[in-house]
Structure formats: structure tokens, C-alpha cells
Amino acid sequence: MAARSTHSPDSPGAPSSRRLTIGYHTRDRRRDGFWAGTRKVPYLHLSGVWLQQAGFPIGGQVRLQVQDGRIVIEPA
């Protein structure tokens, strides 16, 4: 399930703040080489022209800092 924005981020004059929904992916779990079930893991998908306009070009690298209740993403 992909995260969805509450507005069109590619529109001119789009706000610099966005609200997204955390989705999930499923991952197979293995224990001692045997299948042990499926696990849901949080998933956040970011895409749009606004990323490039904000300094995150295709092929660019980013640095993530995880803090209490916050993730900071910066161009590397």
C-alpha cells in the first residue's frame, strides 16, 4: 500500500508541508531456514516533481537522521 498525499504535490505553488499516510509492505519471516510467517512493516513512498524542486534530483543521494518522533531528510 502506497502513501497518499492529501493534495496534488506537483501543482504550482504547492505547500512546503505535506501530510502522508504510512502504509505497509509484507515481508516473509524465516527462522532457522524455515518459513515462519509474514510480517507487516511500515512503508512510506515519496515521489513527485516537488522533490526535484526541493533539491532532491533523480540519482541524488540523501542523508537520513532519525530523532524522537521525527525523520530529517537532507541531500548528501
| Residue-range domain boundaries for the chain | 23-75
Residue type, 73: I
| pTM for this prediction | 0.61
pLDDT of residue 24: 95
Residue closest to 15 by CA, chosen among 54, 43, 58: 54
pLDDT of residue 64: 95
pLDDT in tens, the chain (76 residues): 444 444 454 555 555 788 889 999 998 888 888 888 888 999 999 998 989 999 999 999 999 999 999 999 999 9
Residue by residue, DSSP assigns 25-65 as EEEEEEETTEEEEEEEEEE----SHHHHHTT--TT--EEEE
